[in-house]
Amino acid sequence: MTASTAGSAMHWTIAMWFGLILVVSSAATLADDPEAAPRFTVGEFTHIYDPSVNEDEKWYINDHCLIRGKDKRWHMFGITREEPARPQDEIHFAHATAKSLLQQPWQKHAFALTVARGEPWWEAHLWAPHVVEHDGTYYMYYCAGGPDSQHYRINLATSSDLFNWTRHPENPMVIDGFDARDPCVRREGDQWAMYYTATRPAKQGNHVVMKATSDNLTEWRNEHEVFTHPKVGTFGGPTESPFVVERAGKQYLFVCTNTPYDNTAVYESDTSEEWKLEDQIGDFPAHCAEVIRDGDRWYVTRAGWGRGGLYIAELKWAE
């Protein structure tokens, strides 16, 4: 995701040309059981949005989110800037809309949010927005950074229409490190849950996925680890862009591994409180993937530095 770099050689089979990735073999079987049927498959990725339209330079989309608004349109918000990538200078959120997920192309809008580096917000950059709706209000959580990577800030802005955003006066919502970022928020029973990537301990610790909970979307507590990777480090790492969904009584954690850059691993658990490394059921070629459900169909997205925008593919679960 935001602070990562391209990793080692690809361990899945793909054909790649001009930014289009075609999944030839879904890596949705475990290495120790090569005869097992795939638990899921990911189809061909379709290019649906190019942020370079009407720009003099090439632009990219990195971590992003999609939500269907009250206006019956799909809205995409994401990190954007001109190439080449400079994550500390990612200061805008792109905004695009479409009547359907597979519309080509999506309609480009003005930036949804621009960094507020001065008083009282002291934001360093804008990374990884995630938007949920509750009681007619949209809540956008995002990484605003800070002067100390061991105490990074996850902020909140709200909107009634997905176009006009106001920062919450009680920001930040969460402070954590190292470079705590990539929030994913969903409803779990009678509370809200936020998943994000960090390290434990914050300085040179294991890359982890953290979880915090809230009753009202503005007061967050109980930060704790739900997935710990054996890799130790600071920037980047194998637990970026966490995304959690429930299906058929199982909890699925999607994380961007950065080994290689375009790789998302999927873990399955009976609980949303713990995933283990051995719970991996597969992976697929995507950076900063988001998971979207539209009716009875599932989709995954991909984007990233040097990738030319946003792509989408159908996700099919094994019955």
Q: What is the pLDDT of residue 86?
A: 97
Q: What is the pLDDT of residue 22?
A: 37
Could you tell me if 171 and 158 are in contact, meaning their C-beta atoms sit under 8 angstroms apart?
A: no
Residue with the two structure tokens 């930040």: 172
Output the pTM of the full model. Answer: 0.90
Q: Which residue has the higher pLDDT, 46 or 29?
A: 46
What is the residue type of 140?
M
Residue 238: asked if its preceding bond is cis (omega within 30°), the reply is no
pLDDT digits (tens, 9 = 90+) for 123-172: 999 999 999 999 999 999 999 999 999 999 999 999 999 999 999 999 99
Retrieve residue 168's tokens.
């919450």
Domain architecture of the chain: domains with CATH? 14-317 (2.115.10.20)
pLDDT digits (tens, 9 = 90+) for 288-297: 999 999 999 9
Q: What is the pLDDT of residue 74?
A: 99
Q: For residues 43 and 31, give the distance between their C-alpha atoms in angstroms, rounded to a whole number.
A: 21
pLDDT of 306 above 60: yes
Q: Based on DSSP, count helices (H) and strands (E) in the chain, helices before strands.
A: 0, 25
Retrieve residue 4's tokens.
């990562």
Nearest to 264 by CA among 44, 28, 24, 80: 28
